[in-house]
Amino acid sequence: MIELKNINKELSKHELYEQLFVHIQAVTHGESNLIANLSNICALLKEEMNWFWVGFYLVEGEELVLGPFQGPIACTRIKKGKGVCGTSWEQKKTIVVSDVNQFEGHIACSSISQSEIVLPIINVEGKCIGVLDVDSEYLNTFDEEDQIGLEKIMNHIVSLF
Ligand code: SME
Task: List all residues whose CB is within 6 A of at least one atom of ligand 1.
Answer: 53, 74-75, 78, 83-85, 106-107, 109, 113, 116, 133, 135
Residue 8 is predicted with a pLDDT of 56
pLDDT tens-digit profile, the chain (161 residues): 655 554 556 889 999 999 999 999 999 999 999 999 999 999 999 999 999 999 999 999 999 999 999 999 999 999 999 999 999 999 999 999 999 999 999 999 899 999 999 999 999 999 999 999 999 999 999 999 999 999 999 999 999 99
Residue 11 is predicted with a pLDDT of 87
Helix-, strand-, coil-residue percentages of the chain, each rounded to 5: 35, 25, 40
Could you tell me which of 154, 34, 137 has the C-alpha nearest to residue 88? 154
Give the CATH fold of the 13-158 domain: Beta-Lactamase (3.30.450)
Atom of ligand 1 nearest to the CA of 74: 7
> What span, in angstroms and rounded, lies between the C-alpha atoms of 150 and 159?
14
23-60: b (≥16 Cβ within 10 Å) or e: bbeebbeeeeebeebbbbbbbbbbebbebbbbbbbbbe
pTM: 0.94
